[in-house]
Structure 1
C-alpha cells in the first residue's frame, strides 16, 4: 500500500515542477517581450528625415543669426536681473543645438564634410554669443553678480550627467517619426547651453577672467557630452555610413572625441567630489548648530543672528564654523567649551574651528567694522530679504552712533584715583534722554566722595573733574552725578 502511494505521488510532484517551470518561462518571455516593445526605438526611426533635420539646423546665417543674438540679449538680461523665467524663455528660442548635433552625427556616420561645416558654424556661434554678451554687460550700467550668473561658473559631474542624458533625449526625439517638440524644448532648458556663454561675456566685461574660464568649461562640458550622446544613439540606431576613402581618419577623430570626453570628466569628477564633501560638511554643521547654538536661551538682550553664520570648507585644512551674536549678553565660557566638545562628535567637524563673535565682548569700533564688512559681503544675497536688511541697518545705526563715545573706563578710573584723593568710588553708564524732538545718548559718571568731606569741597572737586573729563575724552556732553 505504501509503495503504491509512493509511486503515485512521485509523478504528480514532477508534473507540478514542470508546470511551475513552464509558467515561469512563459512569464519571463512575456516580460522580455513587453520590455522589448517598451524600449525598442529602431523600428520607429526615420534616418533620412533625421539627417535632413539636423543638417538644416547647422548653418548660422540670416534669420538664425539674429535669433541667436536676440536670445543672447534676453538671457543676459535674465541673468543680470536674476530671473529664472526670463533665462528659460531665452533658451527656448535659442538655436544653439544644431551644430552640436551635427558634430555628433557626422562622427557617427563618417560624414567629414558635415563635421567640417558643423565645426565652422559652432565656432561662429560661440564667438557671436560671447561678443553679444560682452557688449551687453560692458555697456549696461547694472552689472551685479547675481546667483544665476555665479551658478554658471562652477561645473561638476552633475553637469556632465545633465548634458549626456539631455543629449540622449534630444537625439532620440529627433530620430522619431514625427519629432517630439516638447522634448526638444525641455532639453534646451535642461542642458543650459546659453547661460554659460552669457557668463563668459559677463566675466570678460567686468575683468574677472576666472568667471569666464569656469563658464566656458561648463559650456564645453555640455557641448562634448551632447555630441557624445548623439554619436552613441546614431550608432545604436545604425544610421547608414557615408563611405569615404579616408575612413581611417574618421575612426581617429572618433577616438579623439572619446578621449576628450574622458579628459573632461576627470576634472569634473574631482570638482563633484569637492562639492560632495563640502555639502556633507555643511550638512553636519547645520545639524550641530541646530542642536547647540540655536537651542541656547538668552536671559537678556542677546540674540543669535543666523543669517550671518559663515561655513567655510577647506579640503585637507582647517574649516571654519563662525556664528555671530548681537547684544550685550555674553555666552559663558563653559557653554562655548561644551559646544566645542559637541562639535567634535561630528566626524566632518573635528578639524573645523568654531569661532564665536559676541557683540558684548568686542568694543564698538570692532563691532561696527565687522557688521559693516558682513553687510557688504552679503549685500547681493540679502537683496530680497527686507527684514534682514532692516536688522543690519539698525545695528549699523546704533554702532555708528556709539563708536565715537566708547569710554576707556579702566584707564579713566585709575587716573581719577590718582588725581582726586577724596574720591571713594566711580561709576559710568550711558543715559538715553529726549526732549521729545530728538533722542540722545549722554555719558554719565557717578562719583561717590569719602565720608566727612565738606559740601563745598565736593562741589569744587566735581567741577574740576568734569572739566578734566571733557578735555580728556573730548566730549562736551559729559555729565557728573554725585551720589551719597
Structure 2
C-alpha cells in the first residue's frame, strides 16, 4: 500500500512539474511575441528614410530657422506649449540618426554627410537664436530657459530612451506618427540650442556652455540608441569590393563608435554623481537647517567641483550650532567630505532687529504727534493772519483785498506759482505823475509761451474786475 501511495505522489509531482514547465514556456512565448519587433522590421525602408532626412538645404534650412524662432519665442514667453510646437517641426533629428546608423552599418559616406549637416544645423540654429535674443527687447530669464543650462541624470535618461523609441519606430514597417512626435518632445534638441544662443546674446558663457552640454548629451545618446538598436536587429553591414578599404572603414567606424561610447559613459557617470550629490545636499538642508526654527537661512550655495557648501544666516550662530551642523553633515555619504562654511550676521540677531523696529515705530509715533501739533499751530497762525488782513482791508476802504483775491486766483489759475501786487509811480512827460496798479505773475516753467500769453489776458481781465480797476499792468 505504501509503495502504491508513493508512486501516486511521484506521478502528481511530475504532473505539477510538467504543468509548471508548460506555463513557463507559454509565458516565454507570450513575452517574446509581445516584445520582439525584429519580424516587423524593414531594413531597406529604414535606411532609405534615415538617409533622406540627412540632407540639409532649401526647405529644410528654412524649416529649421522657423522652428528656432518658434522655440526662442516659447522660451522667452515661458510657454511650454510653444516650445513643444517648435520641437515637432524641427529637422535636427535626421543627421543624428544618420550618425548612429552609419556607424552601425559601416557606412562612412553617410557618416561624413551626417556630421557635416549636423554641424551646419548647429551653427545656423545658434546664429538664429543669437539674433533673436540680441535684437528682441524682452530678454528676462524664464524657468524654461534656466531649465536648460544645467543637465542632470534625468536628461540623460530622457535622451537615451527617447532615442530608442524613435529608432524603433523608424525600423517598423509604416509610420508611428505619435511615437515620432512624442520622441521629438522628449529629446528636446531645439530648446538647448536656443538657450545657448540666449547665453551668447546676453554675454553669459556659463549659460552657453551648460546648454551646449545638454544638447551634446541628447545628440550622443540618441545616436548611441540608434547604434544599439540597429546592431541588435542585425542590420546588414555595407560590404566594399576593395578589402583594404573595407577594413579601413571598419576600423574608422569602430573608432568613432568608441569615441561616442566613451563620452556617453563618462557623461552618464558624472551627471549621475552630481544628481546624487545635489539630492544629498537638499536632504541635508531640509532635515538639519530648514527644520530648525532657531536658524534663519538667507542664502545657500554648493560647489561640487571645490567640494564646498556655503550657508548664509541672518542673526548670531553659536559655535555649538556650527559644530553640530558640521557633525550632521558627516551622516550624508555623498557630501560628508565637503567643507561647510557658516556665514552669519553676528552684529544683529533677530531679537535685536525686532527691538530696533519697536523703537523705530515708537519714535515715529512721537514724531507724528509733534508734527500734528505743529500743523494745528500753523493753521491757527494762518487764521490770525487772515483776520489781520481783513481788519486792515476793512479800515482802509481804498485797500484792495489782496489775500482773498490771491486765493481765488490760485483756484482759477492753478498754474500760477507766485503773484505780487503793487502800485507803481509812472510819468511820460516828466511833469505829471500817475499811480499805476501792477501785478507780477510767476507761471509754471512747464507751460509754453503761447499758452501763458492766453492765460495772462484771462487773468488780467479777471483781476481788473475783482479789484475794480480801470487799468492793470501784468508783468512776468
TM-score normalized by the length of structure 2? 0.67
Residues 216 and 14 (structure 1), Cα distance of their counterparts in 2 relative to 1, 3 Å cut:
same
Distance 1:146 1:157 in 2: 22
Query: What does the per-residue CA deviation read over 1:243-280, in whole Å, with 9 as the maximum and x for residues that have no partner?
Result: 22322233223322332233323145224312321221
RMSD: 3.4
Structure 2 residue aligned with 1:112: 108
Alignment partner, residue 322 of structure 1 = 312
Do residues 243 (structure 1) and 239 (structure 2) align?
Answer: yes
| Partner residue in 2 for 1:38 | 34
Structure 1 residues 167 and 248: CA distance shift in structure 2, 3 A: same
- Of 308, 327, 330 in structure 2, the residue corresponding to residue 344 of structure 1 is 327
What does residue 454 of structure 2 align with? none
Following TM superposition, by how much is the alpha carbon of 1:136 offset from its aligned partner in structure 2, in angstroms?
A: 0.9
Residue equivalent to 1:187:
183
Please name the residue that 2:68 is paired with: 72
Partner secondary structure for residue 240 of structure 1: coil
Rounded Cα–Cα distance in structure 2 between residues aligned with 1:204 and 1:106:
33
Structure 2 distance, partners of 1:258, 1:161, is 19
Larger Rg: 2
Question: Residue in 2 aligned with 1:21?
Answer: 17
Which residue of 158, 161, 171 maps to 1:162? Answer: 158
Q: Does 1:51 align with 2:40?
A: no
CA distance in 2, matches of 1:210, 1:355: 26
Distance 1:21 1:31 in 2: 15
Tell me how far 1:317 sits from its aligned partner.
Answer: 4.4
Q: 1:68-119: per-residue Cα shift (whole Å, max 9, x none)?
A: 1011011112222222222111111111111111121122222222222222
- Decide whether the 8 Å contact of 1:203 with 1:210 is kept in 2: yes
1:68/1:429 CA distance change after superposition, 3 Å: same
* Alignment pair present for 1:283 and 2:278: no
Per-residue deviation at 1:9? 2.1
Whole-angstrom CA distance in 2 between matches of 1:290 and 1:124: 49
Contact 1:156-1:269 at 8 Å conserved across structures: no
Alignment of 1:219-234 (within 5 A): 219-234=215-230
CA contact (8 A) 1:103 1:227 kept: yes
The separation in 2 between residues aligned to 1:268 and 1:146, in whole angstroms, is: 27
Q: For structure 1, which segment, 241-250 or 167-176, has the greater mean C-alpha deviation from structure 2 after superposition? A: 241-250
Determine the structure 2 residue equivalent to 1:99: 95
Secondary structure of the residue that 1:186 maps to in structure 2? Answer: helix
Aligned length: 360
Distance 1:47 1:288, change over 3 A: same
Deviation of 1:149 (Å):
2.1
Deviation per CA, 1:391-429: give whole Å up to 9, x if none: xxxx9xxx9xx9xx99xxxxxxxxxxxxxxxxxxxxx95
Structure 1 contact 80–143 (Cα < 8 Å) conserved: yes
TM-superposed deviation, 1:191: 0.9
* 2: CA distance, partners of 1:323 / 1:354: 8
How far apart are 1:355 and its partner, in Å?
A: 4.2
Unaligned runs of 5+ in 1: 297-303, 326-330, 368-394, 407-427, 439-484
CA shift in 2, pair 1:127/1:342, >3 Å: closer
* Structure 1 residues 361 and 249, CA gap change in structure 2 (3 angstroms): same
1:175 aligns with 2:171: yes
SS across alignment from 1:51: helix
Partner of 1:465: none
> Which residue matches 2:300?
311
Residues 1:254 and 1:157: Cα distance change in structure 2 (over 3 Å): farther
Asked if 2 retains the 8 angstrom alpha-carbon contact of 1:108 and 1:235, the reply is: yes
Partner of 2:195: 199
Distance (Å, rounded) in 2 between the aligned partners of 1:34 and 1:154: 42
C-alpha distance in 2 between matches for 1:112 and 1:343: 56
Distance in 2 (alpha carbons) for counterparts of 1:115 and 1:321 = 50
Partner SS state of residue 300, structure 2: strand
Q: 1 CA distance for matches of 2:364 and 2:322? A: 33
